[in-house]
Amino acid sequence: MKAMRLVKFPIMFLSLLAMPSTAFAAPTYSGLNTIKDVVAFQTGIVLFTINSAPASPWSTCNVNHQFTINTSSLSGQALYNNVITAQQNGKSVYVVGRGTCSLYTGAEDVDFVQINP
* Residue 20 lies inside a defined structural domain of this protein: no
What pTM value is reported for the model?
0.74
* Residue 45 lies inside a defined structural domain of this protein: yes
Nearest-angstrom CA–CA distance, 20 and 15:
10
Structural domain for 80, as ranges: 26-115
Q: Which among 81, 25, 31, 73 has a CA at the least distance from the CA of 51?
A: 31
Nearest-angstrom CA–CA distance, 80 and 45:
10
Query: What total number of domains does the chain contain?
Result: 1
- Report the CATH number that the domain containing residue 65 is assigned in CATH: 2.40.50
pLDDT in tens, 29-85: 778 899 999 999 999 999 999 998 777 777 888 888 999 999 999 999 999 999 999
* Residue 105 lies inside a defined structural domain of this protein: yes
Q: Which amino acid is at 24?
A: F
Nearest-angstrom CA–CA distance, 8 and 13:
9
